Amino acid sequence: VQLQASGGGLVQAGGSLRLSCAATGRIFSINDMGWYRQTPGKQRELVAEITRGGMTNYADSVKDRFVISRDNAKNTVYLQMDSLKPEDTAVYYCKAVVRATALRSSEYGLWGPGTQVTVSS
């Protein structure tokens, strides 16, 4: 199973970007999905997460600016980022909790390779 993210890039402050992350391979189901970000010298931090049923959780720094959503049929999670700020500049990683079979014991966490988001002032 692989996660492939896309949608990063360079944008001016106040602009928008939409990240996508699709899971492919042997998948029975995907539970929680989320986006994290990391800057040099800092720990990776949660940006937003969403359960299979659609419940969401956001970091305080992105509330009211970012929206996470998912398409369960496509095993894909999205992050709509509006009103971007220079401090949002980071490498963004998607994460998925994948279940390979119907057995709970087959569940594991998977990280995508990361996509760079740069917001210029």
Q: What is the pLDDT of residues 57-97, one digit of tens each?
A: 999 999 999 999 999 999 999 999 999 999 999 999 999 99
The answer to whether the CB of 100 falls within 8 A of the CB of 29 is no
Residue 53 pairs in a beta bridge with none
Residues of the chain with pLDDT > 70, as a percent, come to 100
Q: What is the pLDDT of residues 25-34, one digit of tens each?
A: 999 999 999 9
Beta carbons within 10 angstroms of residue 6's beta carbon: 12
Amino acid at 9: G
Q: Which residue in 42, 29, 48, 63 sits closest to 95, CA to CA?
A: 48
Query: What pLDDT, on a 0 to 100 scale, did the predictor assign at position 97?
Result: 96
Query: What pLDDT, on a 0 to 100 scale, did the predictor assign at position 104?
Result: 87
Q: What is the pLDDT of residues 97-116, one digit of tens each?
A: 999 988 889 999 999 999 99
d(CA 49, CA 36): 9
Helical spans, DSSP H, in the chain:
none
